[in-house]
Structure 1
């Protein structure tokens, strides 16, 4: 609706407006006030208060109070605004509206309906595009979830293998510690046997029977040889276990390196914004 310049007033009544003498100046006063109020125009009271658009409006209506006798002053309004005021007054007075006005209103409503229909079509297209994007996002999310699930499963397998290797390494360490204890006990036994041998050698001078002493010495030598053989075997077994432990440590380091690489790869593939699932190599 075109805006009305302020202030303004009327100078002459519309030429094609006919009203009943029953409508007094006070009735027209209320109608015009309603029209200008709906247009948002500041008005001044006929006598002193804020009601009419201009202060120069006649302070006293003619005593007859009929609409043709209302004094109108010049007003700078657009044709559309004048037509709107005219139609508002005619509708308020119950006068018939012209066919041209109704046609213009019908054309305006048809144009508004077409614009609304275009907006509806545009919104439907946007809804379809949003639905397509939503389906694509769901498909990508499903693929990403499958990739993450595979990564988690492979990670669990690697973690279980690592746990098994750790347990095996712990068992080997326990066995190595046991062998070390046995070796210490064997060394202690060898020391004790050496002491006994020294004692026997000291006693050998006092014993008259050299044959018995020689036999005992021979048996002690055999026992010592057996102990030496057992000690040598124990040392060989300890060396073998140390070699196996070393190999297991190297394998453990390799698995730890693979696990770190897998974690880094998984971290890079699960970066926000990635659309394709991460590929994980199985070890």
Structure 2
């Protein structure tokens, strides 16, 4: 019985040993698989890290490309604006040339072509104290016809300004003389009214009384009114003295453009 138990025990031990060996083999397989899984996991982690780095690099590159795109867009807009400005400037230049031609034609139509050079030269010589006029006079031989036309027009403007000043002075003097004459006329009108009233009063007395009485009254009235009648004589205005005191008007003929051109 002991032998059978021992035999059975040995068989069971053999089975257990076989199972242990089988389990050992399975454990080694599982260990190999775990090591493979660990290796794959590490590889995946490295790949994930590389993917993250590449994603970051891609984001940086995208931002750089956005900046470059903005710069390129700004440059395109700038050059587009420059092209538009150049086209506008060219049209403005054409318009300026046309405007200058029209202005030169207008100025030329306002001056006398036969007297342009003479008038311009006289104007510059008369204003040599002005630095600009002196410089223009020094470069007289190189002045353009348009410049001569403008100088001639400036001479006419200066002449008109002087004529205006003389006319203003004459106007003020004439207004003053009118005021004085108005006052004199007012005084004479008062004297005329007083004398007319006195005449009517004397005529009334002459018609109401007798011839003798009227003559006597007339004599008495003449004696009484002689001081009054002498007042118009005393208050008589000497027009000759007033004419002598009046200032003569400014001679406009001497300031006219024709007389100046004749003198020059």
TM-score with structure 2 setting the length: 0.37
Bigger radius of gyration, 1 or 2?
2
Structure number with the higher helix fraction is 2
TM-score with structure 1 setting the length: 0.35
